[in-house]
Amino acid sequence: MKNSDQDIIRRVLAGEQKAYAELIDRHKEKAMTFAVRMLKNRFDAEEALQDAFIRAFKALPGFEWKSSFSTWFYRIVFNVCSTALGKKGDTTFISIQDESDDRLSLEIPSTDDEPDVEFDQKEFSAIIRQEIEKMDAGYSAILTMFFLQEMSYEEIMSVTGLPLGTVKNRLFRARTQLRTAVLRHFSDEKMLERI
């Protein structure tokens, strides 16, 4: 049976510091994806993630159980990445007016058992990842949290410290940018086929 984050944290706080490796193993992949989306560089993301895990370990005695460990930890990762971007002179988040229409969806084709459809799905997923990596960190981070980490609006608000309207607005704009980029990619591809 898999131990819950709470069980592991209790063991760490009881003095079993090696148990912290279980938390690292459980959260490192998604946290790395998140850090790479923000920092746009794997080396910087690895460094930021190490820093975030160290900070989380040191702050663990103060963890108040008001949210899940993952939400609390992603807040630390977010802050570490934001600081790293600030040191590089990058503008992490641009100010955006509130837009409440977040109905735009990102539709990913379903996979069937046919080999060409499966290939198309893999190609489509690669294009999505590529386009997300090109986005401003503020947008790619929100998309990553929402779609890949499957965080709720409330969890994203907790991680980023942004109000609900801003989270919805950035998600809307990120989806719009992504949809436009993907459509442009496929229309460019069709143009090449005609040549």
Structure tokens that stand for 127 in this block: 């294009």
pTM as predicted: 0.61
Structure tokens that stand for 59 in this block: 């702050």
Structure tokens that stand for 109 in this block: 């084709």
148 versus 33: the higher-pLDDT residue is 33
As a whole number of angstroms, the distance between CA 132 and CA 24 comes to 25
As a whole number of angstroms, the distance between CA 182 and CA 169 comes to 20
Structural domains of the chain, with CATH? 5-88 (1.10.1740.10), 115-194 (1.10.10.10)
Average pLDDT over residues 92-121: 39
Percent of the chain with pLDDT over 90: 23
CB 155 within 8 A of CB 40: no
